[in-house]
Amino acid sequence: MLEIAIVVLLVVLNGVFALSELAIVSARRARLQAMAAAGKRGAARALALAADPGRFLSTVQIGITAVGLIAGAYSGATLSVALDEYLEGLGVPDVPANWLAYIIVFSAITFLSLIFGELVPKNLALRHAETLACAVAPLMYAVSRVAAPAVWLLDLSTRAVFSLLRQSQPAKSTVTEEEIKALIAEAEGSGVLEPGERRLISGVLRLGDRPVRGLMTPRTDVDWIDASADPNDVKARLLASSHSRMPVGEGTADHLIGVVSARELLVEFMSGRALDLRAHVRRAPIIPDTTDALDVLETLRDAEVPMGLIHDEYGHFEGIVTPADILEAIAGVFRSDVDAEEQHAVPRDDGSWLISGSMPADEMAEQLGINLPAMRDYQTVAGFLLSELRRLPLVGEQIQMQGWRFEIVDLDGRRIDKVIASRGPAARRQMGPT
C-alpha cells in the first residue's frame, strides 16, 4: 500500500505543477492587481511569476519532468515487480507475467497521470484561474528559488535558441477593442451583464471612435435665426421650431455669432418689450469637424452654453452638436424624438431592414454584422453607399456586399434617405435601377 500511496502522491504533485502553469499563465493581470491591492495572499507572488514567464515555465517544466521520471522509475521498480510476483503466483509463466505486469502498471500510471495529473488540474485552472494562481504562487516561488541554478540554465538556453531563430522578445500583452467586445458579449451570455448594459457599453466604445461629424446635426437640418431679421420673423421662426436653443447668424449660417435660448426670447415677446436679439446671444464654442467625440464632450462641459458650432477647415458652418447628440450615440435614438417611420433601422417581416440614410455607419455595421474600414471618410449609411458607388445613385439601385443587398428606395433631393438591407449573395454589384 505504501508504494501505491507514493505513486498517487507523485501523480498529485504532477497535477499541482500542471495546475500552477495554466492558472498563472491564464490569470488576468488586472484581476491579480486588484486582488493584490486588496491584500489577497499570493496575488503579488502570482504577478511576479507572470511577469517573468521564461523563468516560471522553466520552474514548472523542471518539476513536471522530475516528478514524471521519479514516478516512472519508482512504479517500474516496485509496482511492476510486485504485480509480476503476484501473477507468477497465480500460475502465469515468467516472461508473460513480466510483460503483463509492465503493461498493466504502465497503463494505470499513464491513465492516472492524464486524468489527475493533467486534465482535471488544467480544467480547474481554467475555471478558477486567479484564485488558484494566488494559492499556488508561494509554492512555485519557493520551488523557483530552490531550483534557481537549473531554472537559470534552462531560461538562458531558451533565450539562446530564440536568438538563433531571430525571434524578438514577446510584445507586452495588450487588450484590443475586439477582445473587449467579445468579453462583453460573453458577460451578457452568462448573465453578468444585462442586454441594456451591453448596448450602453458598446455605445461608449463607438463614441470613442467617432469624430464630431458622426454626431452632429448637419447644416441642412439646423434651424437658425438671422440677427438682422424682423422681430415678427424671429417670433415665427421660434414658434415653428421645437428646439430650446438656436444659432444666430449675420445674414448667413456661415457667419454665426452665437446661440440664443428660445425660452428667453419668447418671454421677451410675451412681456411686450422690444426685442433686442443680440443682447440674448451667448457665445458657443467653435469646434473643427475633425475633433474626436470625447474631446467634444469635454468642450461642451466647460462651455457657456451646451451647444457646439461645427466648422470645416475652410471656415464653413457644417452643423451643431449638443449633449443630446452624444447621449443618442451612446443610448440610441429616443422614440419620443423621432417618428416611427424616421427611426434609424426598422426590422421588416421578411427579415430585411429599412434603414435611414442618416444612420451612423458603425451602428449599421454592428446591427447587420458587417465590417467597415478602420480608416474611412464617411460617417453615415448614405456616405457608406456613396463611397461604394462613387456617384449619386438612382432610386432602385442596388449594391451587394458582405452577404447583404442594399437597395436605395428613396432620395430626398440629392441625399440618400431610405435604404432596404436584405440578405443576399455578396458576389457582385448591380448597377442601375431594377
- Show Cβ contacts of residue 248 under 8 Å, excluding neighbours closer than 6 positions: 224, 225, 226, 227, 256, 257, 258, 259, 260, 277, 278, 281
C-alpha 9: how far from chain center: 44
Would the pTM of this model clear 0.85, i.e. be above it? Answer: no
Q: How many CB atoms lie within 10 A of CB 422?
A: 14
Residue pair 381/359 in contact (Cβ under 8 Å)? The answer is yes
Per-residue pLDDT, 287:
92
Beta-strand pair 245-249/225-226: parallel
286 phi and psi, to 5 degrees?
A: -90, 125
Q: Which three cell numbers stand for residue 393?
A: 445613385
Strand (E) positions, 169-316? Answer: 217-218, 225-226, 245-249, 256-261, 286-288, 308-311
Range list for CATH 3.30.465.10 in the chain: 339-423
DSSP codes, 295-329: HHHHHHHHSSSS-EEEE-TTS-EEEEE-HHHHHHH
Fold for 339-423, please state it.
Answer: 3.30.465
Range list for CATH 3.10.580.10 in the chain: 212-331
Q: Name the architecture of domain 212-331.
A: Roll (3.10)
Residue pair 63/17 in contact (Cβ under 8 Å)? The answer is yes
Residue type, 307: M
Find the angle CA(381)-CA(384)-CA(385) to the nearest 5 degrees: 90
Mean pLDDT, the chain cut into blocks of 10 residues (434 residues total) = 75 85 84 85 85 79 80 67 69 72 77 84 86 88 82 80 72 63 75 78 79 86 89 87 89 89 87 84 91 88 90 89 86 58 75 86 84 81 86 86 87 86 59 41
Per-residue pLDDT, 434:
40
Q: Which three cell numbers stand for residue 342?
A: 424616421
Q: Report the run of H or E that residue 407 belongs to, with start and end.
A: strand 404-412
- Give the whole-angstrom CA distance, residue 121 versus residue 133: 12
Per-residue pLDDT, 429:
42
Q: Report the run of H or E that residue 74 belongs to, with start and end.
A: helix 53-77
Per-residue pLDDT, 288:
92
Q: Report the run of H or E that residue 416 belongs to, with start and end.
A: strand 415-423
